[in-house]
Structure 1
């Protein structure tokens, strides 16, 4: 138990340290760019107001209109294909935020739908990931058998390498397709695929949002949805192996602690009154019973072993 507490405390400290390091790095990388962008937008806003003689109230209305109309630039989002896309982002917890329900009924149904759908999706992807791992182990054993390796069993390290390689191939292939279809750079496409398949889903880059693609390009819609589902299954396989490794380490430590505690309890010796016990069992009970039968009373009371009293020799 003590080792488990130390491990938990170490994980907490490492996690918060990781967060602090990440915050410092993001601050140094992004803060200056944010300030420059803000100054640029502020200057452009002032120039537009002066050029077209727009009041602050009118400019605020224009800003609101531009912001509100942004989701509609990609075409209708709530027809069946767009609604199916939205349902996938809910069930997989990607949550791009490119389209959100505006009605009370839509918001209520989203919450209820997510409560039932998210656990279902997690179980499904975990099961598919397990199947992928089993298929990978079969392929690894076949390759080792073909190469004549001494050990033909698929080790945990072999599975991790195979599934991670498959994940990299899926991301690389998907990035090539999205770069061609969306007009993104290849690096931005890799970024989009990674953010999507890890379910981070910032929403800064979302596929199927140009030229009303959701309603006019069913082939591209099908590819994007299959990529998301298959890619999540592959990533789930990788995460299953990593999580299983940590859980196995944790379980081994727990079993070791339990064994040590049991051994310590068995070796514990304590004194209860005038009786010595070990692990709750009385020791030397037989010795006491045997000795009780051999004890002869030397008291002056009327015991059968010393009554009648023996005559005392009288010194002469």
Structure 2
């Protein structure tokens, strides 16, 4: 089995193992809290029904009204500011789920818009990421020149470190800003920034959803959009470097396999009862089988000694057409001897570098 196939199979196994580990950890961390919250909600529901004498149907209607009203706390979601924010979320494939189209026309246009916009957005983010990597390489090279380093060129590790540091700065700074404007804890804000820039987009934390922010805080809206777009561009720069590194490793692996195959590639052809071994395009003489000792033939041998018995064959008669070209090429580079035929096994040979 090729190493690439083994590596692919190993990646699949590792990924599923990682999924199983993640499921076990999340189960241990979250299941008990989920059960407690569910029991608390059931107790709260029973208390409300008893206190206000609400029927089950009335309670369901009130529940639906509360859930449906939640997105409107940020103001109109489909005015231009809210629609622009929604379009950005679609283009970036974040998918918070804070607002969704409800009309048939809106759903149809959303699908068509995403089919064109998502590839366009990916190309844009990739292009910006490449420019950021180019800028970072120039800065790193200038810094190395200033510090008089021996190697002035920016390496992949230098660029990955630079983009990693820039991503960390963006996330930590964004967490501080969202913590101030949204009233979240710093950890929750950091969690929101990470989920957003990795395009996971759970939707449990969404900015611009309180106090009519979409209508009354245009500066904060602009800051949120810049954070999403610029942050995703930096993440794209990091992904470009990772993809480049993976492609480099893959190319090195393929080259290594080719070299190994060339190093061990050899085949044996039978020429009029002769076993002639071809190693990297050179012929090594084998033992003679069933030839008359009096035949006047040539010996073709790529070796450093003269004690090897002859390889007896006639080019035009004994070698099959498919093998003739390889034999001729090897024979042209070989040392030709004229000696009486003998019948002896193949000795230890030392190839001559030609």
Same fold per superposition (TM over 0.5): yes
Residue 312 of structure 1 corresponds to which residue in structure 2?
none
Residue 99 of structure 1 corresponds to which residue in structure 2?
99
Residue 124 of structure 1 corresponds to which residue in structure 2?
124
Per-residue deviation, 1:288: 1.2
Residue 182 of structure 1 corresponds to which residue in structure 2?
182
User: What CA distance in whole angstroms lies between the structure 2 residues aligned with 1:19 and 1:246?
Assistant: 22
Per-residue deviation, 1:272: 8.6
Q: 1:290 to 1:99 in 2, by over 3 A?
A: closer
User: What CA distance in whole angstroms lies between the structure 2 residues aligned with 1:91 and 1:273?
Assistant: 71
User: What CA distance in whole angstroms lies between the structure 1 residues aligned with 2:315 and 2:77?
Assistant: 90
The structure with the greater share of residues assigned to helix is 1
User: What CA distance in whole angstroms lies between the structure 2 residues aligned with 1:290 and 1:17?
Assistant: 61
Q: Deviations over 1:206-256 (max 9, x none)?
A: 111111111221111111101100010111111211222122112211232
Per-residue deviation, 1:290: 8.2
Per-residue deviation, 1:258: 3.2
User: What CA distance in whole angstroms lies between the structure 2 residues aligned with 1:39 and 1:291?
Assistant: 92
1:33-182 maps to which residues of 2 (within 5 A)? 33-182=33-182
Q: Deviations over 1:13-32 (max 9, x none)?
A: 11111111111111111111
Residue 251 of structure 1 corresponds to which residue in structure 2?
251
Q: 1:158 to 1:291 in 2, by over 3 A?
A: closer
Q: 1:273 to 1:22 in 2, by over 3 A?
A: farther
Residue 244 (structure 2) pairs with residue 218 (structure 1)? no
The one of 282, 288, 295 aligned to 2:314: 288
Q: CA RMSD in A?
A: 2.3
Residue 295 of structure 1 corresponds to which residue in structure 2?
none
Q: 1:133 to 1:290 in 2, by over 3 A?
A: closer
1:202-213 maps to which residues of 2 (within 5 A)? 202-213=202-213
User: What CA distance in whole angstroms lies between the structure 1 residues aligned with 2:189 and 2:69?
Assistant: 25
SS of 2:314's equivalent? helix
| Bigger mean CA deviation after superposition, 196-205 or 246-255 | 246-255
Larger relative contact order, structure 1 or 2 (CA cutoff 8 Å, min sep 6): 1
Q: 1:276 to 1:119 in 2, by over 3 A?
A: farther
1:260-299 maps to which residues of 2 (within 5 A)? 260-262=260-262, 264-265=264-265, 267-271=266-270, 287-288=313-314
Unaligned runs of 5+ in 2: 284-299, 301-310, 319-354
Residue 5 of structure 2 corresponds to which residue in structure 1?
5
TM-score (norm 1): 0.85
Unaligned runs of 5+ in 1: 293-316
SS of 1:268's equivalent? strand
Residue 304 of structure 1 corresponds to which residue in structure 2?
none
Q: 1:71 to 1:290 in 2, by over 3 A?
A: closer
Per-residue deviation, 1:141: 1.2
User: What CA distance in whole angstroms lies between the structure 1 residues aligned with 2:19 and 2:215?
Assistant: 41
SS of 1:206's equivalent? coil
Q: 1:85 to 1:271 in 2, by over 3 A?
A: farther
Asked whether the equivalents of residues 167 and 234 of structure 2 are also in contact (C-alpha less than 8 Å), the reply is yes
User: What CA distance in whole angstroms lies between the structure 2 residues aligned with 1:152 and 1:262?
Assistant: 36
SS of 1:269's equivalent? strand
Per-residue deviation, 1:286: 9.6
Q: 1:290 to 1:231 in 2, by over 3 A?
A: closer
Per-residue deviation, 1:275: 8.3
TM-score (norm 2): 0.76
SS of 1:204's equivalent? coil
Q: Deviations over 1:62-109 (max 9, x none)?
A: 111112222112110111111111111111100000000101111111
User: What CA distance in whole angstroms lies between the structure 2 residues aligned with 1:291 and 1:6?
Assistant: 45
Q: 1:108 to 1:286 in 2, by over 3 A?
A: farther
User: What CA distance in whole angstroms lies between the structure 1 residues aligned with 2:275 and 2:113?
Assistant: 64
